[in-house]
Amino acid sequence: MPTYGKSYGYGRRSYRKRSSSFTSSGQVYKTGSSTYEIRRHSIERTIEIEPQKAKIIPLLAYFDTEGASVNVNASSKITSQGTKVYPTIAVEKGSRVNAIKLDVMIEPKTGNSSQITPFYVSRCVTSFHDVKGGDIYGLEPDADTGKIKFCDEAASPTNTDVITGSGSTNAAPELAITKAQYDVGDTIKHWWKGTSKNIMFGGQPVSYVRTEPTPKKAKRSNEGMFYGMMIMNDGQAIAGDTDTLRVTIKQSFNEIPLIQ
């Protein structure tokens, strides 16, 4: 009986012996054990959204170096696996994020509000050259660095970095867009997807607590990577700020650095 695998080196054992490393995009990723510290990110933000306005809440964004970190002042039973925490959404180039834990609470700015306030939540994920086309509402590229900028979409637009030069997270500008305008747009709906309607009544907060898998486009940080949500407040402005939304978002994730 012919023994092709054995004679020509195609057998399973022979193949495995030759698979000590592989090359991708010019970098060599070696197999075997390695020791490194996972970067633990923990961010808490409070954002207010006026009626008939919207804001982008970034969840992950590309950064060319390690993001900003602070030391954890706690018992060794808490910090035995690392003494730093990263209060930023910045993810260094090449790092991987497998999942994000979100704890979101949306409530009226005025606690005794009895108004019915509808609002909508959309998601956007980009990678590499997506933003460079200039078609994504609320976002613009930095042509020199590959980082993403906020755009206020005004007549004379102002762009601001999503991630500051020091690696911290900037506040997003207010966007003058309504759900009615969103509905008649085709390009905006191509990028800001999965729009869901929520209704808040009688001052009762709306909460969302979940651990989500990271979208494939944003799982590995690269130039142009961005993942975020946009909340559109479709309420009507009345006296007393009762339809202004206050969004409190607590977010955490583990960043696994690239080992070379």
Average pLDDT rounded to a whole number, residues 20-44: 59
pLDDT band at 18 (very low <50, low <70, confident <90, very high): very low
pLDDT band at 28 (very low <50, low <70, confident <90, very high): very low
Identify the weakest region by mean pLDDT among 50-64, 102-116, 145-159, 215-229.
102-116
- Give the tens place of pLDDT for each residue, 193-247: 999 999 988 778 899 999 999 999 999 999 999 999 999 999 887 766 678 899 9
- What is the per-residue pLDDT for 182? 93
Q: State how many domains the chain has.
A: 1
Residue 26 in any domain: the answer is: no
Using a pLDDT cut of 70, give the percent of the chain over it: 79
Q: pTM of this prediction?
A: 0.81
Amino acid at 245: L
Residue 6 in any domain: the answer is: no
Cα-based distances in Å from 209 to 23, 101, 215, 248: 39, 8, 18, 12
Domain that holds residue 225: 40-255
Q: Which two tokens stand for residue 85?
A: 């925490």
Residue 131 pLDDT > 90, yes or no?
no
- What is the per-residue pLDDT for 165? 86
Residue 33 in any domain: the answer is: no
Average pLDDT rounded to a whole number, residues 72-101: 82
Rounded Cα distance between 233 and 176, Å, is 10
Residue 241 in any domain: the answer is: yes
Domain containing residue 240: CATH number: 2.60.120
